[in-house]
Structure 1
Amino acid sequence: MSNVLDELTWRGLVAQTTDVEALREALESGPITYYCGFDPTGPSLHHGHLVQLIVLRHLQLAGHNPIALVGGATGLIGDPRMSGERVLNSKETVAGWVERLQAQASRFLSFEGENAARMVNNLDWTGELSAIDFLRDIGKHFRLGTMLAKETVARRLASDEGVSFTEFSYQILQGMDFLELNRRHGCTLQTGGNDQWGNLLAGVELIRKSDKVAVHAMTTPLITKADGTKFGKTEGGAVWLAPDMMSPYAFYQYWINAADADVVGWVKTFTFRTREEIAEIEQSVAERPQAREAQKILAGDVTTMVHGERATAQAIAASSALFGRGELADLDPETIEAAVAELPSTEGGVGTSIIDVMISSGLVASKAAARRAVAEGGAYVNNIKVTADDAVLTADDLLDGRFAVLRRGKKTLAVVRVAQQ
């Protein structure tokens, strides 16, 4: 317990705290009960939530008592965004998302033992709360000046769209969550992203004013890339944790492609490797960057944490097989589909000329170039060398009856998709 705040700081997981010495003393004297909230504004958690889940896990491993809150109530409202008013989702949709997010968050915590985690839903204490009781018991402790000064609110008020009373009230609801968890479970620390600092302070102040109790707040910094581009940005949007929104293969690929300038910091933040192990990883990046050992450790650890060992093994096998270091036919259909999803593609089928699909997929520019690749031994179908320029696709070439992977040389890939009838 005594070193957990220092450990989180070393790993780049602390941006701001309320009285840091008081928080340190509380953590060292522990165990304390702490929480982080996750709003179901979509059907999956993403890379930003992953940072918070890792903080929850570090604190639990240090002996403290975690509460993961999935906001069935706050998810119906939505935290104000810089870009404009959120679309309000139906109660049924939000309830379904609550269940999905609870299942995802549960993977990161232990619900057994002396410091077993709790999973809670803030709809349990807001669903039956009357408007009069809300205004009398909670609203009276909030001052408009403070609420209006919140950066997101101030910016939205200055925009043409403004901000609705619904979203403006969000910070009161989040503050009430901290109050309820403090009263119900003795919770004295709330964690969250640094963009939530104002909301976290709303809870700290509400508890101080209503119950005369001192509690703590701690935020994580925005994770960035060394080149200044946004962390977590992909062609498909966010780095989702749900496998039906981002396949384990695509998830693994995001981390394996980390830049050398980012990878050591990300290993600190997103894995539970020891300081000694990370020192060795940092040395390998400096001395043998071409081996990409750090990227393999990062991708393997994070994918295993989110999706499990089997999915990680399949993702690693797919990465190797695509480039001729494994058997594509050994992969399950879902992994094959995920592995070829981003490749240039063309349609074909049994009897289609391999020369023709090499051209139509963009693998080569002309028949002459295709024939030259075959003659030089640099054309492959499913990692099997093409030896004749009149070769055609056969039924045996089709993976799961739907795909054939083309490769020119060592690294240039494309996929043939069987035209659907």
Structure 2
Amino acid sequence: MSVLDILKDRGFIDATTHTQELEEYLANNRATCYIGFDPTASSLHVGSLVCIMALAHMQRNGHRPVGLVGGGTGLIGDPSGKTELRKVLTQEEINENKAGIRKQLERFIDFSEDRALMIDNAEWLTQLEYIPFLRDIGRHFSVNRMVKAESYKARMDSEDGLTFIEFNYMLLQAYDFMVLAKEKDCLLQMGGSDQWGNIVAGIDLIRRTLGKQAFGITFPLITTASGIKMGKTHKGAVWLDPNRFSPYDYYQFWVNADDADVVRFLKLFTFLDLPEIEAVDKLQGADLNKAKVVLAYEATGIAHGRDEAVKALKASVAMFGSIEIPEELLPGSSIPRGIHSAEDADSVPSSSLIHGDVVDTLPVVDLFVQTQLCKSKSDARRLIQQGGAYINGDRVAESGQLIRENDVRDDEILIRAGKKKYHKIILA
């Protein structure tokens, strides 16, 4: 089975260019392919996972993936799907964000011995001279065709409109593709469906300037069964950085997937074989919940490592009760089999505080912020007012109350935000 068939069968493909020629190219060559990543943050999030997993599948099938970090285009900003102008980043911010992105991609892709590359387009974009660029590159672009591109429509229809800086983005991304085709023999660009216009522009530029046939693959926008954009929660983005979003919370994100999403997410976000995933389609109720546990374990293991996946599994069992993972359920998973009991409570996220700094001193609101169960005091007050804050299973009644001695059980305090977010305070 070709890598293109694998991506199609697992639900990655939205559209391809030159489909038959692309299939032949991938079947007969060790292709170099790339996806661009925007360095506006030091962490990628779950919304980037389809692109990352696609690169991983390409590498597993003998091809070489390239993660192109937009250090140059990041100074401008891609208008695709945006309705407002993005803030300008400093070079120091871009460098810090690049390092964070590289660290996360290394969880999914092997960069050793040039098996994969990470390149910053600032290497060539910041060296461009304006007049030669217009003469050699700009002359190949039709403004009439550009303004019809989906990537520009949201900005053009917005109150602020599309700036000239952003209008240049299609030229620069096409130029990126041309440089990679010339320097790295990279003839395949992949990306989200909103990148179609930019990808096609690059293919056309390569044909005009290098006389080569290049290709494009786009991926669908992934939404949950409830219609929510993938990776968006009431708490904000689901980051891949464990310091922004803990492995335990990451695990909980997946284990709480909608029933209708389980098979689709197993195909997209794990490497388990398709036949065993398709068997999950017949499961219901408690058996389907066990499949969700495997999904959460596999996704957490890929992003954070097997040790963190095991810890998250144990912590979840400690909070929500025992579960049995039978041998025949998704047998390709490395999840420990058998009955997982609630005896592994030490895996619950925890922190140590001084007894005197907490009891009769610290407001409940502050404790929820310190443990990152809430982003701010106003968030904590809102949680309490809505009846979603708990101490040792008892609902917090007043936002102004202090932690009291009767809140302490065996030198510990277990606090909870909503149904799923726990944190244990160990008092010294």
Q: Find the counterpart in structure 1 of residue 19 from structure 2.
A: 20
**1:74 matches 2:70:** no
CA change 1:120–1:296 in 2 (3 A) is same
Residue by residue, what CA displacement relative to the aligned partner does 1:319-343 show, whole Å, maximum 9, x if unpaired?
Answer: 12223613434556369999x7549
Q: Find the counterpart in structure 1 of residue 293 from structure 2.
A: 296
1:194-343 paired onto structure 2 within 5 Å = 194-283=193-282, 285-286=283-284, 288-290=285-287, 292-323=289-320, 325-329=342-346, 331=348, 333=350, 342=373
8 Å Cα contact 1:69-1:122 kept in structure 2: yes
Match for 1:310: what amino acid? D
CA distance in 1, matches of 2:345, 2:281: 33
CA distance in 2, matches of 1:308, 1:414: 22
Once the 2 structures are TM-superposed, how far is the Cα of residue 123 of structure 1 from its aligned partner?
Answer: 0.8
CA distance in 1, matches of 2:262, 2:397: 32
Residue by residue, what CA displacement relative to the aligned partner does 1:1-38 show, whole Å, maximum 9, x if unpaired?
Answer: x5211111010000011011111111111221111111
CA distance in 1, matches of 2:59, 2:164: 37
Match for 2:223: what amino acid? T
CA distance in 2, matches of 1:292, 1:303: 16
8 Å Cα contact 1:281-1:293 kept in structure 2: no
1:19-418 paired onto structure 2 within 5 Å = 19-80=18-79, 81-112=81-112, 116-283=115-282, 285-286=283-284, 288-290=285-287, 292-323=289-320, 325-329=342-346, 331=348, 333=350, 342=373, 361=396, 392-394=406-408, 396-398=410-412, 403-405=413-415
Once the 2 structures are TM-superposed, how far is the Cα of residue 51 of structure 1 from its aligned partner?
Answer: 0.7
Once the 2 structures are TM-superposed, how far is the Cα of residue 188 of structure 1 from its aligned partner?
Answer: 0.9
CA distance in 2, matches of 1:252, 1:358: 22
Once the 2 structures are TM-superposed, how far is the Cα of residue 176 of structure 1 from its aligned partner?
Answer: 0.8
CA change 1:362–1:271 in 2 (3 A) is farther
CA distance in 1, matches of 2:104, 2:175: 24
Residue by residue, what CA displacement relative to the aligned partner does 1:315-369 show, whole Å, maximum 9, x if unpaired?
Answer: 112212223613434556369999x7549989xxxxxxxx997656259xxxxxx
Give the 3-state SS of the residue equivalent to 2:237 in structure 1: coil
Amino-acid identity (%): 38
Once the 2 structures are TM-superposed, how far is the Cα of residue 58 of structure 1 from its aligned partner?
Answer: 0.6
Residue by residue, what CA displacement relative to the aligned partner does 1:265-291 show, whole Å, maximum 9, x if unpaired?
Answer: 1101111110222133223x24x5455
Aligned residues: 373
CA distance in 2, matches of 1:412, 1:217: 41
CA distance in 1, matches of 2:255, 2:352: 16
CA change 1:186–1:19 in 2 (3 A) is same
Q: Find the counterpart in structure 1 of residue 328 from structure 2.
A: none
8 Å Cα contact 1:357-1:416 kept in structure 2: no
CA change 1:263–1:360 in 2 (3 A) is closer
Once the 2 structures are TM-superposed, how far is the Cα of residue 112 of structure 1 from its aligned partner?
Answer: 3.6
Q: TM-score, normalised by structure 2?
A: 0.79
RMSD: 3.2
Residue by residue, what CA displacement relative to the aligned partner does 1:347-402 show, whole Å, maximum 9, x if unpaired?
Answer: xxxxxxxx997656259xxxxxxxxxxxxxxxxxxxxxxxxxxx93557322xxxx
CA distance in 1, matches of 2:272, 2:287: 21
Match for 1:361: what amino acid? V
Once the 2 structures are TM-superposed, how far is the Cα of residue 54 of structure 1 from its aligned partner?
Answer: 0.5
Give 1 or 2 for the bigger CA radius of gyration. Answer: 1
CA distance in 1, matches of 2:393, 2:214: 64
Match for 1:106: what amino acid? E
CA change 1:357–1:84 in 2 (3 A) is same
CA distance in 2, matches of 1:121, 1:36: 12
Match for 2:314: what amino acid? A
CA distance in 2, matches of 1:356, 1:9: 48
CA change 1:74–1:334 in 2 (3 A) is farther
CA change 1:296–1:141 in 2 (3 A) is same
CA change 1:16–1:356 in 2 (3 A) is closer
Give the 3-state SS of the residue equivalent to 1:292 in structure 2: helix
Give the 3-state SS of the residue equivalent to 1:103 in structure 2: helix
Match for 2:88: what amino acid? L
CA change 1:406–1:26 in 2 (3 A) is closer
CA distance in 2, matches of 1:359, 1:289: 28
CA change 1:318–1:330 in 2 (3 A) is closer
8 Å Cα contact 1:73-1:122 kept in structure 2: yes
8 Å Cα contact 2:151-2:197 kept in structure 1: no
Structure 1: which 5+ runs fail to align? 347-354, 364-390
Match for 1:333: what amino acid? S
Structure 2: which 5+ runs fail to align? 322-341, 354-367, 382-389, 399-404
CA change 1:183–1:414 in 2 (3 A) is closer
Q: TM-score, normalised by structure 1?
A: 0.80
8 Å Cα contact 1:345-1:361 kept in structure 2: no
Residue by residue, what CA displacement relative to the aligned partner does 1:72-108 show, whole Å, maximum 9, x if unpaired?
Answer: 1111111014321111122221221112112211221
